[in-house]
Amino acid sequence: MKLHTLAAAALLSSGAFAQSAAQPATAMPAAQAAAPAPASLGGLQFLYGSGEAAALSRQTYAALEAYALAQAARRPADSVVLAQGATLAAPAYVPCGDKPFAAVFDIDETVILNTGLMHSRALGPGAARDGTVLPVPGAVEAIRALKAAGITPIYNTNRTTNMADGVVTALVSVGLEAPVHGETLFFNGDDALRGNKDGRRATIAAKWCVVAMAGDQLGDFSEMFNHLQPVAERRRVAMDGAIGALWGRGWFTLPNTAYGTALEGTLAEIFPAATANDNTKDAR
């Protein structure tokens, strides 16, 4: 098989494109990985085709850049990585001390867009493999600005270690400096937690003062989100309280409507019966 076919097949079988992580993260079964659920056309239109998603991404990276630079200038006491034993209800963070500054980025659909893979997958079996990768709008400029300000970009991906070369190539192809595995690049398989990124975050935060994190799925910020049920509870926890206040202030989400943990739930789970407001009650 051609290298890009191997790479694409490996990408499909890695945890990076797991359709569901609402359970504790596990390696994606190979048979399931070979034929993942196709992304809806609307999901592809939004993420890869729309000016609206491009605007959202530019906006996110503008906010991340401004926030990270401001934080580095003021030398914060705390990082934005949750500490061991912290809960989402009562978050606590790994302290910064004098550690050098860093920002942690997921890769797929956070820094790069896997347009080729998603296109060929949508075309169906028999479509030629396509390794085209594009930058998420705004990502490269923001990461370069962070680097210039002394904030080291560190990549934390759920691709597996056998895909290391492909990942570095992809990052370089969109104009980023090649990261170094074990220093500024971490994979699923680097520790025993596999697709649970908490351990790798702890490893990174032990050495770096992490001032910002970016991802397209809540597991890019804490594994605890992957254990919340039902869908409405997970949304509530993400939206409210101390966690809700983090978005745009250390934690930065990029949209992903093609695959991943955002695409969960039956109609009844998305629209639970208890409603906050019914404006018909007050209609005149």
- Taking the complex as a whole, how short is the minimal distance between the CB of residue 207 and a copy of itself, in angstroms? 27
CA 209 – CA 206 distance, rounded (Å): 8
Closest CA relative to residue 212, chosen from 67, 93, 110? 67
Cis peptide before 36 (omega within 30 of 0): no
DSSP letter assigned to residue 85: T
Q: What is the DSSP string of 185-204?
A: EEEETSSTTTT-THHHHHHH
Question: Whose Cβ is closer to a copy of itself: residue 165's or residue 207's?
Answer: 165
CB 228 within 8 A of CB 19: no
- Taking the complex as a whole, how short is the minimal distance between the CB of residue 275 and a copy of itself, in angstroms? 4
- Taking the complex as a whole, how short is the minimal distance between the CB of residue 279 and a copy of itself, in angstroms? 4
Question: Whose Cβ is closer to a copy of itself: residue 191's or residue 264's?
Answer: 264
Question: Whose Cβ is closer to a copy of itself: residue 71's or residue 100's?
Answer: 71
Question: Whose Cβ is closer to a copy of itself: residue 184's or residue 217's?
Answer: 217
Which tokens belong to 95? 């302290």
Closest CA relative to residue 102, chosen from 84, 81, 117? 81
- Taking the complex as a whole, how short is the minimal distance between the CB of residue 266 and a copy of itself, in angstroms? 9
CB 120 within 8 A of CB 130: yes
Helix axes 3-13, 115-123, angle to 10 degrees: 80
CA 261 – CA 250 distance, rounded (Å): 21
- Taking the complex as a whole, how short is the minimal distance between the CB of residue 65 and a copy of itself, in angstroms? 9
CB 121 within 8 A of CB 115: no
Question: Whose Cβ is closer to a copy of itself: residue 52's or residue 206's?
Answer: 52
Question: Whose Cβ is closer to a copy of itself: residue 182's or residue 244's?
Answer: 244
Please, which residues bridge with residue 247 across strands? 251
Question: Whose Cβ is closer to a copy of itself: residue 1's or residue 203's?
Answer: 1
- Taking the complex as a whole, how short is the minimal distance between the CB of residue 16 and a copy of itself, in angstroms? 15
Question: Whose Cβ is closer to a copy of itself: residue 110's or residue 196's?
Answer: 110
- Give CB contacts under 8 A, 24+ apart, made by 159-162: 159/10, 159/11, 159/14, 159/15, 159/16, 159/107, 159/108, 159/187, 159/188, 160/10, 160/14, 160/15, 160/187, 160/188, 160/189, 161/187, 161/188, 161/189, 161/190, 162/10, 162/189
- Taking the complex as a whole, how short is the minimal distance between the CB of residue 192 and a copy of itself, in angstroms? 26
- Taking the complex as a whole, how short is the minimal distance between the CB of residue 191 and a copy of itself, in angstroms? 25
